[in-house]
Amino acid sequence: MQEVQDTKPTPPKKPLIYYYIVSLIIIMLLNILFFPSVLERPVMQVPYSQFLTMIDEGKVKEVALEGSEGQIVFIGTNEDGKEGYYKTGIWPDDGQRLLTQLRTDENIQFESEIPTKANPIMSLLVSWILPIVFFLLIGELLSRWMMKKMKNQLPGGLGNSMMFGKSGAKIYVEEAKTGVTFADVAGQDEAKESLLEVVDFLHEPEKYAAIGANLPKGVLLVGPPGTGNTRMAKAVAGEANVPFFSISGSEFVEMFVGMGAAKVRDLFKQANEKAPCIVFIDEIDAIGKKRDGSGMGGNDEREQTLNQLLAEMDGFDGRKGVVLLAATNRPESLDPALLRPGRFDRRVPVELPDLEGRKAILKVHAKHVTIEDTIDWDVIARATAGTSGAELANIVNEAALRAVRLGRHSVTQEDLEESVETVIAGAQRKNAVLSPKEKKIVAYHEIGHALVAAKQSHSAPVTKITIVPRTSGALGYTMQVDQEERNLMSREDVENKIATLTGGRSAEELIFHSMSTGAANDIEQATKLARAMVTRYGMTDEFDMVALETVQNQYLGGDTSLTCSAETASKIDQQVIETVKKAHQKAKKILMENEEKLHELAEYLLQKETITGEEFMSILNEEETH
């Protein structure tokens, strides 16, 4: 993909005349005080007697008389045989006689003049003009280098402020293409369908103008990180075959007040000149946060930038074909004025892909990798529930890297399954050595999870159990994969999941009559689920269908905050404790009823270290032998 910059900001021209004048004065002083003319021939003054001696020795070639100074100028050779220019005085009594004799007796050429000074024009050029040009060139290069260094190294907006409010947006022009189309975006069929109208409008605007329909001025893409917001925007431009402006919201934020607003003006000016086109602002929440009344000047720059963006969106004509796309992971933090009709008219969710979407995404990324024909994409897609498109791309890449490490020329099913575990739980810690006692505790812990899950209805089947330590810190894990895509969980499903999470600690208590720190993550997840049952899902009789907490930043981890009194919060804590206790007792009961199978499966896992779900279920379903 080729990126071109439509308007390259040039460094401002500094008033360098001061430096030029200083350089000229320095050159004049050097020429006058220290250096002779660079083109003037050096002339040596010698005694008259030496001149006569050199004539006798045949070392004089040319002679001339300078009448104004009464001197003889001659060209002779020195002791090393090198030619040089000499001057000597003329003796009044024999000077004229000597010159007459030189014309006749000696083999010496007599000249009317022997020039010892350079041509005046050449002397001026070499002594003055060329040094000045050299100094000017050095000064200009130093100026540009300093401007570039300041732009790259100064923090925040100080370096960018030298750009005089240029937007700095990357422009993918029509000839260069974005390199992405809807065929390269998988798993987001609903989002693509919503954006097809934008593409169609940019192709055939007259069709919409005939009926009087206006294209939405702005389309806001919202969703978790890694779901392909930026790729989706590039695909729209690639399909429409129009220029694509791409800039991050943080690039508008400057140190100096007013610079961000100037960049917004410049961006929309360029967009209007290249209409029809698409302008994409990534992470728009950097400039589009809700305005508050706190004031104190701290947010003047961001608010001025937002105000300018609002004004520009009101001012540009949608019929020209300028479409504004923006992406954010925090739509709830955006200013309401930005989301009203007439600005961002349409909101397109770009959510985590479902089962079919994950299969399609895996196949898209597998196009660039050598894959065996026997790959079962359905198995990989089921094992990656809840992953984003970026994570799926990473899984395919990790599988390719593993195949190279093992000396294979294509990716196998085993490579993909191992890469799923690498992305989810981390790579295997081959140098981690557990003591036999610790290894036994981990084995019973993981079989405890699997056994409780298998003996409950509405639980996802166990697909893999391992006690190989991972780089994420896990000493082992039990993988469960649902046979079909599930979007809802019943109260029984949640309670069963909490019981499964407590199964590991329950097995430790039953077999070793002790507790270890290995259940820390299980406890955290069980508590979080139990609290959600009480405060968000309305799955308790005491509080019924009352929302007791709110979720913020749902696409960035889903931080929660209670919206109840301290007395109610205390009751919530008590209810959470009772829910987890109840699940814990249930897990203990299941393990006590199946203690023999617990021992048998744990011993088998200790021998194999990693077993599949089929092996686990085969042993579990065998008739107990006495």
Determine which one of 312, 398, 421, 446 is catalytic: 446
**Cα-to-chain-centroid distance, residue 593:** 55
Q: How many CB atoms lie within 10 A of CB 175?
A: 8
Distance CA 380, CA 355 (A): 10
Both tokens of residue 550?
Answer: 């709110």
Strands 218-222 and 344-349: parallel
Instruction: State the residue for tokens 């930026």.
Output: 230
595 is catalytic: no
Beta bridge partners of 60: 76
Q: How many CB atoms lie within 10 A of CB 2?
A: 9
Residue 453: which residues within 8 A CB-CB, separation 6 or more? 459, 460, 461, 462, 478, 480, 496, 500, 503
Backbone angles phi, psi at 20, to 5 degrees: -65, -45
Distance CA 215, CA 193 (A): 15
List, as own/partner pairs, every contact residues 512-519 make where C-beta atoms lie below 8 angstroms and the sequence separation is at least 24, other chains included: 512/441, 512/444, 516/441, 516/445, 518/441, 518/442, 518/445, 518/475, 519/445
Task: Supply the Cα-derived Rg of the chain in whole angstroms.
Answer: 43
- Between the two ends of the chain, the Cα-to-Cα distance in Å is 70
| Residue 104: half-sphere exposure toward Cβ, Cα within 13 Å | 5
Single out the residue of 367, 350, 373, 81 nearest to residue 193, CA to CA: 350
Distance CA 52, CA 60 (A): 9
CA 250, 254, 258, 263 torsion: positive or negative?
Answer: negative
Task: List, as one string, the DSSP characters of 73-109.
Answer: EEEEE-TTS-EEEEEEE--TTTHHHHHHHHHHTSS-E
Strands 71-77 and 60-66: antiparallel
Single out the residue of 284, 296, 17 nearest to residue 135, CA to CA: 17
Instruction: State the residue for tokens 């002679």.
Output: 63
The vertex-381 CA angle with 376 and 387, nearest 5°, equals 155
Just list the catalytic residues. 446
